[in-house]
């Protein structure tokens, strides 16, 4: 029995296998942890890409809704601009007549036809001379008055001059320009 070799590490032959088995177990544990982390990473990446896609879909949906709202508002603004551009301002006609009327001439019974661009009214002044000057003012106001027609000139009981006047007005007078 003297020729029997001794087991390594001074013990039995079975004792020499435990480091090998232990390293295999550690390797398998590391491999299992790696596989779990790998599949967890794949799962997280999949969820991230799904969330990214959902975010893009929501943003696209919100952008489409916002775009639709913006287009609707732009159309309404353009419609309002058109309405304002074509709006008739009768006060401009009154303002123009007021600025062109001489201080000693009184206008009454004003009839303003905005669509036809006509103003007809009666008036009173002190003298024929002031009536002639008023007619001249209207005739020289070519940006406002296109034509003038005076009729019914009469002497009032109070000594003043009564008249009727029809004016053809510039149609652009009533626009907001």
Q: Is the pLDDT of residue 98 over 80?
A: yes
Q: Nearest-CA neighbor of 167 among 126, 107, 127? A: 107
134 and 69, same structural domain? no
pLDDT, residue 37, reads 92
Last residue of a domain, one of 86, 104, 138: 86
Number of compact structural domains in the chain: 2
pLDDT, residue 156, reads 84
Q: Using 50, 70 and 90 to split pLDDT, how confident is the model at 96?
A: confident
Dihedrals φ, ψ of 113, to 5°? -105, 100
pLDDT in tens, 102-161: 999 998 888 888 888 888 999 999 988 999 999 999 899 888 889 899 998 888 888 889
Supply the range of the domain harboring residue 76. Answer: 11-86
124 and 176 Cβ atoms separated by less than 8 Å: no
Q: Is the pLDDT of residue 38 over 90?
A: yes
Residue 149's beta-bridge partner residues? 166
pLDDT, residue 142, reads 83
119 and 167 Cβ atoms separated by less than 8 Å: yes
Residue 147's beta-bridge partner residues? 168
Residue 73 belongs to a domain? yes
115 and 55, same structural domain? no
157 and 144, same structural domain? yes
Q: Which residue has the higher pLDDT, 118 or 88?
A: 118
Q: Using 50, 70 and 90 to split pLDDT, how confident is the model at 90?
A: confident
């Amino acid at each position: 029995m003297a020729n029997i070799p001794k087991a390594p590490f001074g013990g039995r032959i079975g004792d020499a296998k435990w480091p090998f088995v232990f390293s295999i177990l550690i390797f398998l544990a590391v491999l299992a942890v790696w596989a779990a982390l790998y599949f967890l990473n794949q799962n997280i990446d999949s969820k991230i890409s799904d969330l990214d896609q959902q975010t893009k879909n929501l943003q696209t949906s919100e952008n489409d809704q916002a775009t639709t709202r913006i287009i609707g508002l732009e159309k309404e603004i353009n419609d309002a601009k058109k309405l304002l551009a074509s709006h008739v301002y009768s006060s401009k006609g009154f303002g123009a007549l007021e600025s062109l009327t001489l201080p000693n001439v009184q206008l009454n019974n004003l009839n303003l036809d905005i669509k036809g661009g006509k103003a007809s009214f009666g008036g009173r002044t002190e003298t024929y001379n002031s009536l002639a000057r008023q007619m001249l003012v209207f005739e020289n106001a070519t940006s406002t008055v296109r034509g003038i027609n005076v009729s019914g000139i009469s002497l009032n009981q109070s000594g003043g001059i009564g008249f009727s006047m029809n004016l053809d007005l510039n149609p652009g007078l009533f626009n907001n320009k």
